[in-house]
Amino acid sequence: MSEKCLVTVSNLLTSVKNSQKENKADYLELLEQPFKSLLKNIKDISECNSIEIEKSDLKICRLQNNLMSTFRVLNDVSEQCPNELLDHVLNAQSKLVGIYDFIESSSDSVRIIEVLQEFDTIVEPIELLTLNINKLVNPSSDSDDNMMEILYPIDEAKRFLLSLQNELSKNTKKINLFLDKYSDVIQEVKVNLDIIENKDLTNLSLTDLRCINEISLLVNKLKKGSAEFKICEDAALSDMTMISLLRF
C-alpha cells in the first residue's frame, strides 16, 4: 500500500535534484529535505509489525512534525513558484494537512493501515507536481540525465525479464515454483511495458508516469520473489546491456 506513495515521493525528489542540475527554479531546493524526511517517516511506519501504533510513539511524533514542516515549506514555495505549479503545491498542502488532522483526531492510538491509506491521498497531487516541475525545468524534455532517471524502471524491467528468460532455460524446480507464484505479476509487467513503449517517451503524460511507476512497483515485487527463491542473481547487467535489451 505504501509502495506507490514511496515511489511517487522518490520521483519528486529526483525532479527536484534535476532542477538543481539545470540551475532552474532555485526555490524547489526547499522541497528536498522535508520530503526526504517524510519518505523516511512513511518507510518507518510501513515497517511496523503491530496493527496499531500509539500517538505518543516517536515515529508518529516525527511524522506529524515533518508533515507540518513540509506544509510550511510548500507554503514558501507557493509564494515563489509560477502559476503552472501553484495549484499542485496548494493541493499537496491540503492533503498533508488532511493526514495530520486524521492522526490528531484519532484516539490514543491509530491503525497503521489507516495512516498508510491516508498517505495514498497525496499520490496524485505529488505526481502532478512532479510532472509540472519536469515541464518547467526541461520544457523540451532535452535533459538526457533527467530522462534516463525517469525511464530507469523500464530498463530495469527489461533487465529482470532477460535474467528470468535465462533462468527459464535451466527449467529448475525453483524457477517453476517462482512462476507458479508470480506469473500474473510477470504478465502485468509485460503489459505495462507494451503500453509505455508505444508512447512518445520525450513527451510523457501523467498517465505515462503512472504506468512507469506501476512497472517499478511490479519489478520490486518480482525482485523480492526472486530473492525468496534465489533466482535471477545475474540481473545486475551493465548500462550498455540495459540499453541494448530486446523488447519482450
Each residue's pLDDT tens digit, 180-239 = 999 999 999 999 998 888 887 767 788 888 888 889 889 988 988 888 888 865 544 333
Mean per-residue pLDDT over the chain, rounded: 84
Flag whether 96 is in a domain. Answer: yes
123 and 221 part of one domain: no
What pLDDT, in 10s, does the model give residues 129-187? Answer: 998 888 887 765 445 566 677 778 888 888 888 888 888 877 788 888 888 999 999 99
Flag whether 91 is in a domain. Answer: yes
SS (H, E, C) 162-179: HHHHHHHCCCCHHHHHHH
Q: What is the count of structural domains for the chain?
A: 2
Amino acid identity for residue 26 in this structure: D
Report pLDDT for 248.
Answer: 33
With a CB cutoff of 8 Å and minimum separation 6, the contacts of 121 are 95, 98, 99
Give the CATH number for residue 41.
1.20.120
The Cα–Cα gap between 232 and 222 comes to 10
Report pLDDT for 137.
Answer: 77
Burial (Cβ within 10 Å: 0-12, 13-18, ≥19) of residue 205 = exposed
Of the three residues 118, 137, 156, the one that is the final residue of a domain is: 137
Where in the sequence is the domain holding 97, given as residue range(s)?
A: 1-137
Amino acid identity for residue 155 in this structure: D
116 and 6 part of one domain: yes
Q: Band the pLDDT of 56: cuts 50, 70, 90.
A: very high
Flag whether 245 is in a domain. Answer: no
Amino acid identity for residue 97 in this structure: V
What is the DSSP-derived secondary structure letter of residue 247?
A: P
Flag whether 243 is in a domain. Answer: no
Return the C-alpha cell found at 224: 523480492
Q: What mean pLDDT is predicted for residues 60-79?
A: 95
Report pLDDT for 139.
Answer: 65
Report pLDDT for 41.
Answer: 93
95 and 157 part of one domain: no
